[in-house]
Every structure is written in C-alpha cells, then in structure tokens.
Amino acid sequence: MSAGKRVANEGMGTTSSSVEDLRKRAAEKLRSRYELRLYVSDMTPRSVNAIANITDICEERLKDNYDLEVVDARHGVDLKKDSIIAIPTLIKRMPLPERVLVGDLSDKDKVLKALGLSSRGCST
C-alpha cells in the first residue's frame, strides 16, 4: 500500500514538474519579446536619429524578438498616458522592468543597459 502511494506521488510530481517546465518556458518566451514605443515629433533631426538608432540596435541585438511602435506626438496622441514630457522618448514596456529613455538614443551603451542587454552580447 505504501508503494502505491509512492508511485502516485511520483506521478503527481512528474506532472507538476512538467507543468512547471511549460510555465517557465512560456515565461522565458514572454520575457525575451521586447515591446518598445518611441514617441517622436514629425521628422525632426533628433527624432530621425532616435528612430535610426533604436532600429539599428533592435536589428543587431534583438533580431525578430521585438515590436517597435513609433508614435508621432503631433497626431492627437495622449502624451499624459505615458507621462511624456520630452521628445523623443523611448519606453520599454516588456520585458519588465519598464524603462524610459529620453533623447536621440545615440549613447548605445546607455540604451543597451536600459534594454537589459550587455554591451558585449545579447542577454535574450
């Protein structure tokens, strides 16, 4: 009888472990997907540079693991929603923690750090 209980517990443990493994893999996949929103104003030089800089970094370091939304602040956008006080502003929504960067994103090391990426290699 005791052996039956052991088998039942082992089976339950395996199932629980398998479910936990699936949860961990799903969480890792979600963490590796970057959600970015860049607020710009028309095609000012700083906005153009910010778009080019973040696009280059994303293509180089994140490959297909990112979504970048570029929002023109002049077109009826509620800037209060994301507490935008300067343009250009990049908001990294995912993976957590959320980060906000202001400027043309030309300081690559600063941008990589804010994105949670090392200067030498990709952490995703």
Give φ, ψ of 41 to 5 degrees: -130, 105
Are 36 and 50 a contacting pair, CB within 8 Å? no
Residues 45-65 have pLDDT tens digits of: 999 999 999 999 999 999 999
Where does the pLDDT of residue 31 fall: very low under 50, low under 70, confident under 90, or very high at 90 and above? low
Q: Which residue has the tokens 């490959």?
A: 63
Average pLDDT score over residue span 69-80: 88
- The beta-strand segments (E) located in 1-124 are 34-40, 66-72, 89-94, 99-102
What is the domain partition of the chain in residue ranges? 1-32, 34-114
Indicate whether 4 pLDDT > 50: no
34-114: CATH topology? Glutaredoxin (3.40.30)
> Looking at residues 32-38, what average pLDDT do you find?
93
